[in-house]
Amino acid sequence: MLSKPSFDDRSLAEFFYGSLLRHFYNSFNSSTQALLEECRFGIAPSPTGVKTFFIVAPSMGVAEQLMERQHSQASFPTGGWSRADGEERHSPRQ
């Protein structure tokens, strides 16, 4: 008889994504972390099934500040930013 694993798939996924988000958050300076604390994060599949990380800012002001930091410091490890209305703000890195 096989023993029951200590983590089910959902618990393992929650642990993995929680660790990933903590690593992402901790990679920034304290002022950027303060802005990120106001945001919500998520991971959702694209229409083709690719998992996409997204940040939802509480206001356009916070979103603009985060975008300015990305452009001026190249501090964000990922590529493009898109506004909720679909306007592309920064092209993804190749």
- pLDDT tens string 41-83: 988 898 998 988 889 999 999 999 999 887 765 545 544 545 5
Total of domains in the chain: 1
Whether 67 is in a domain gets the answer yes
pLDDT (0 to 100) of residue 9 = 83
Question: What mean pLDDT, rounded, does the chain reach?
Answer: 77
Whether 85 is in a domain gets the answer no
Residue 37's nearest CA partner among 19, 55, 16 is: 55
Whether 84 is in a domain gets the answer no
Structural domain of residue 45, as residue ranges? 9-79
Calculate the CA 21 to chain-centre distance.
Answer: 7
pLDDT (0 to 100) of residue 7 = 55
- 8-12-14-18 Cα dihedral, nearest 10 degrees: 160
Whether 46 is in a domain gets the answer yes
Whether 3 is in a domain gets the answer no
Whether 22 is in a domain gets the answer yes
